[in-house]
Amino acid sequence: MFKKLLAFFAAMSLIAAFAAVDVNKATEAQLDGIKGIGPATTKQIISERKKSEFKNWDDFISRVKGVGDKNAAKFSAEGLTVGAASYQSPASTPAKAKADSKKTEKPITEKAKDAAVATKDAVKGAAISTKDAVKGAAINTKDAVKEAAQDAKKAVTPKSDSKVDAAKPVASAAKK
């Protein structure tokens, strides 16, 4: 049961990792969680956002130093959105943009398969870690029980100088 619960939480954290993060609503931690955004960029984003919300990706790129088309595309691929919109790279023509997106974009079935494999790997890793932790706890518990049993045995066993002395009262009581 514990393994199933742990696997569930591992899968949920993976799903949360792929959830979209809107730059206008994200916390500092959520922004830091986007691959490629560090503490300095996070502070810059929050500072600019306090002045006014970002209207679109162009507004975001123009107001945040160090973010250009390339970084915007990376951030968007990691789940960052501006006004719930993903970044669309500028193309010279709509036909070229459509052709480029077909070349680089995986079909939905491949994306789902990749996500399933990633989830499976994460759950497997969590299960192995859990197994190791449970095994370690079982060994520690076993050792503690063994030690407690030895202590209890010492406390119950009468102390005498010799075995013969301990047997004398029993023998004399048996004669009576």
- The answer to whether residue 97 scores a pLDDT higher than 60 is no
- Locate 93 and state its tokens: 């023509």
Among 36, 33, 35, 30, CA closest to 49: 30
**Eight-class DSSP state of 21:** E
Rounded mean pLDDT, 15-33: 79
More confident residue, 91 or 83: 83
* CATH, range 21-85: 1.10.150
**Eight-class DSSP state of 22:** E
Band the pLDDT of 150: cuts 50, 70, 90. confident
What gap in Å lies between CA 176 and CA 173, rounded to an integer?
5
Delimit the domains of the chain by residue range.
Answer: 1-18+106-176, 21-85
